[in-house]
Chains A and B, each alone.
Chain A
Amino acid sequence: MALYTETVMDHFMNPRNVGSIENADGIGEVGNAKCGDIMKIYLKIEDNIIKDIKFETFGCGSAIASSSMATEMIKGKTIEEALAVTNKQVVDALGGLPVHKLHCSVLAEEAVKSAIKDYYDKNGIEYDKSLFPDDIGCEGCHMV
């Protein structure tokens, strides 16, 4: 059996939305190079809608595939819809990830939230802080 599903391999080999956005409305970066994963998400937001999204990832195949899938899932969505996307939905959309790779999907969810939080902060928009737990950093890897 292959390590990864066909969908994971597709998103790894042909990642969607790779790159950065100049003058992004929100930027989120999570992870740690020491742990071997860093994800950075750039958002262009207009009228509460995620008009454009790009990512840069340093990490393994599942980290790159999770970033790619997460960006696909929230592109064109409202901020509220984007915030509702969970790591589990990313995993499901990828057709599953090996157990020791689940933290990659957690990072993808966190990266999106971190970018939205950055957008809120930059624009002085009030938000429910409980929706944005502190960067879990390396602990994210140890929880799965």
Chain B
Amino acid sequence: MRTIYVDNAATTQTSKKVIDGMLPYMYEQYGNPSSLHSVGQRAKEVLEEARAKVARCLNANPSEIYFTSGGSESDNQAILSAAEIGLKKGKKHIISTKVEHHAVLHTLNKLKKQGFDIQLLDVDNEGFVTPEQVKDAIRDDTCLVTIMYANNEIGTIMPIKEIGNVCREKGVTFHTDAVQAVGHLKIDVQDENIDMLSLSAHKFHGPKGVGALYVRKGIFLSSLIEGGAQEKNRRAGTENIPGIVGLSIAIEDAYEHLEENNHKMIILRDKLIDGLSKIDHSALNGPRTNRSANNVNFCFEGIEGESLLLLLDAKGICASSGSACTSGSLDPSHVLLAIGRPHEVAHGSLRLSLSESNTEEEIDYIIEQVEQVVCYLRRMSPVWKELLSGERQFML
């Protein structure tokens, strides 16, 4: 059976070009950039070349790029660092949103336990916050605003430039978790007034376990990991040279083909949205415009998401769900709840995240299979029966 992979927001396939580019740095050029000898110094050169490439893609300066193990580490470091400097100045108020990734939310929760005042802004029913909300929330003791660039579950692209403006005007540090945006959207950290930005290589056909944190010159950054002078004392540990090289190739490649890839994915995405919208009592989660080119997320009333995923998997379709049952937690997706989906409905969600290598024919197959599986599960669902008989009110 063929496999149709539509879970690219979880991870992407590492491209052949990236793998080929990484391989020499495991066998032939295996040096440690901290070594003084020629083998080490060659690795140092490669490291700095990679840094320059990443910087160029974001319109940053190479000295503003710090390599990390991925998006979660970058988010942790950016937030904890801003909190540390805030604490020194007596500023303990942090603004974020209810729809952030857990790498942000759990870090904020840790700070809350340490006495920080964490304010999570509400989003509208498509997942947006407004710059005005941020402006109104900023106080004299605000030390950080952290708002994601593009939502990993529902694809909402936040008004980052406008939020960046507000923060810059008020003199508050602005961090954005851009893990789902880098390599998918044009980003200019200077134009968009971004002070710190997290990214992860495996979301754009790079390898897993490597990411970066952009930190604007003049913004304080403390280390999360101690033990060496790497990354200007901000991130100890021998640099993951193969991974960093892979990241730099992947990001360059992504930006080189950004427009054609997005053009292709938007056509597929909209075809998928239109097809799934025809299923009764279903609803798209997130906006139709200002939406990630690769993201489709639906709720289907009367069914539960995990069983939907398992049946789709049996038909070769690899997708994801905001159902509680897939995560091991009891509550369904915090993002779906934040945009106002009731618990009952949020349990029946399906996320399909595309890549440029998906085809129209695959989209047709997905639409057909999702329709069948939803229908099959509804036939055995007591909730669906109650909805049909009127004992329970339809919400979608």
Contact = CB atoms under 8 A, between A and B. Distances in A.
Contacts of A37: 304
Contacts of B381: 38, 56-58
A93 interface: no
A95 interface: no
A19 B326 CA distance: 25
A85 interface: no
A101 B307 CA distance: 13
Interface string A34-53: 11111110000000000000
Interface size class of A (residues with CB under 8 A): 20 to 34
A9 B306 CA distance: 13
B325 A56 contact: no
Nearest to A104: B325
Contacts of A55: 380
A96 interface: no
B36 interface: no
B330 A142 contact: yes
B333 to A, nearest CB: 11
B180 interface: no
Interface string A45-86: 000000000011111111110000000000000000000000
A107 B237 CA distance: 49
A137 interface: no
A59 B304 contact: yes
Given A33-B343, A142-B330, A64 B383 contact: no
Interface stretch (A10-18, A114-122, A124-132): A10-18
A57 to B, nearest CB: 6
A142 to B, nearest CB: 7
Contacts of A34: 342-344
B343 A58 contact: no
Given A12-B307, A58-B302, A60-B304, A36 B383 contact: no
Interface of A: 9, 12-13, 15, 18-20, 29, 33-40, 55-64, 98, 100-101, 141-142
Interface of B: 302-307, 310-311, 314, 323-326, 328, 330, 332, 342-344, 347, 379-385, 392
